[in-house]
Amino acid sequence: MNSRYIPVEGHHGFVRDTSTGAVLNTNHSAIEQARQNKKKRLEQKKQQENLSKRVDSIEEDISSIKFLLESISQRLNNGS
């Protein structure tokens, strides 16, 4: 390890950058796992947004169908 980095006491896999004071994670498997978790969360969010759009579209379609059925019903009732 570079002398620029010193281990963070009590926290395995973390070092402090002596020039900036930043704490860095050096546990590459944990970093990769965090990336995979973020990717999964973003995919789930996208799926949720797509599902929400589909539900909104279905609600609009149902509203249109309801309006048409009411119009047909009124015309049939007025013609009788």
pLDDT (0 to 100) of residue 78: 87
Task: State the pLDDT confidence band at 80, using cuts at 50, 70 and 90.
Answer: low
pTM of the model as a whole: 0.61
Mean pLDDT over 32-36 rounds to: 97
pLDDT, one tens digit per residue, over 40-64 is 999 999 999 999 999 999 999 999 9
Distance, in Å, from the CA atom of 17 to the CA atom of 7, rounded to the nearest integer, reads 9
Domain ranges of the chain: 5-79
Given a contact cutoff of 8 angstroms between Cβ atoms, the answer to whether 11 and 26 are in contact is: no
Distance, in Å, from the CA atom of 55 to the CA atom of 48, rounded to the nearest integer, reads 10
Task: State the pLDDT confidence band at 39, using cuts at 50, 70 and 90.
Answer: very high
User: Which candidate, 6, 1, 3, places its Cα nearest to that of 21?
Assistant: 6
Q: How far is CA 30 from the centre of its chain?
A: 21
pLDDT (0 to 100) of residue 3: 80
